[in-house]
């Protein structure tokens, strides 16, 4: 299957995106937890970056990352917070099924790497290893993520691989 040549735009989240984000998020339960409009608003306000993907002007996906010290009750976020002082945590990424294989996930990561290189030392996320999600693990390895731990979630029903991507430090400034 060939992917059409399309224009993918990554832009900041805006309040008019809430209905699309909510619909896409909740269509992907149980892979992600269900949200309501208030929680989407709260999480995007906490985010160091909340992004939306458009393909030829149509909503195609979203992601957001959280820095340390946020009031966010997530088992994986809390694990990373205990291990690292400075990071951005990719809490959520979702791509509409009609736009999968268009390079949107890679475009989101490219934007995050660009935004946070020299700002934060790490991008952190997790991928299921039980049940096994080999396509996502392979994708994350291809970007440069490495496993830094594992933990059981959902009362032991799942196991996640906790992943980190080291970012380059800011270049030294001239004296």
How do residues 106-144 score in pLDDT, each as one tens digit? 999 999 999 999 999 999 999 999 988 898 899 999 999
Look at residues 110, 15, 35, 98 and name the one whose alpha carbon lies nearest to residue 61.
98
pLDDT class of 23 with cuts at 50, 70, 90: very high
CB-CB contact of 32 with 87 (8 Å):
no
CATH of 8-166, one of 3.50.50.60, 3.40.630.30, 2.120.10.80, 3.40.50.300: 3.40.630.30
Strands 58-66 and 122-130: unpaired
Q: pLDDT at residue 56 above 80?
A: yes
Three-class SS state of 50: strand
- Burial class, 160, CB count within 10 angstroms (exposed 0-12 / middle 13-18 / buried 19+): buried
Which H helix or E strand runs over 63? strand 58-66
What is the residue extent of each domain of the chain? 8-166
Average confidence (pLDDT) over 139-161: 95
> pLDDT value at position 32?
80
DSSP string, 79-140: HHHHH-SS-EEEEEEEE-GGGTTSSHHHHHHHHHHHHHTTT-SEEEEEEEEETB-HHHHHHH
Q: pLDDT at residue 2 above 50?
A: no
> pLDDT value at position 1?
39
CB-CB contact of 148 with 163 (8 Å):
yes
pLDDT class of 168 with cuts at 50, 70, 90: confident
Rg (CA), the chain: 16
Q: Which residues pair with 4 in a beta bridge?
A: none
Side by side, the strands of the sheet bearing 122-130 are 8-12, 49-55, 58-66, 88-95, 122-130, 158-166, 146-153
State pLDDT tens for residues 78-114.
999 999 999 999 999 999 999 998 999 999 999 999 9
């Amino acid at each position: 299957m060939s992917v059409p040549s399309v224009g993918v735009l990554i832009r900041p989240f805006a309040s008019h995106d809430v209905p699309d984000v909510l619909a896409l998020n909740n269509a992907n339960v149980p892979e992600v937890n269900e949200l309501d409009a208030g929680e989407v608003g709260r999480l995007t306000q906490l985010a160091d970056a909340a992004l939306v993907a458009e393909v030829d002007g149509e909503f195609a996906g979203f992601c957001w990352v959280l820095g340390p010290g946020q009031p966010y009750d997530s088992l994986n976020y809390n694990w990373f917070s205990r291990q690292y002082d400075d990071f951005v945590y990719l809490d959520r990424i979702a791509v509409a099924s009609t736009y999968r294989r268009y390079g949107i996930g890679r475009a989101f990561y490219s934007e995050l790497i660009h935004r946070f290189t020299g700002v934060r030392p790490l991008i952190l996320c997790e991928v299921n290893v039980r049940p096994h999600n080999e396509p996502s693990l392979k994708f994350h390895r291809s970007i440069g993520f490495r496993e830094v731990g594992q933990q059981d979630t959902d009362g032991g029903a799942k196991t996640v691989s906790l992943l980190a991507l080291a970012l380059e430090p800011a270049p030294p400034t001239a004296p």
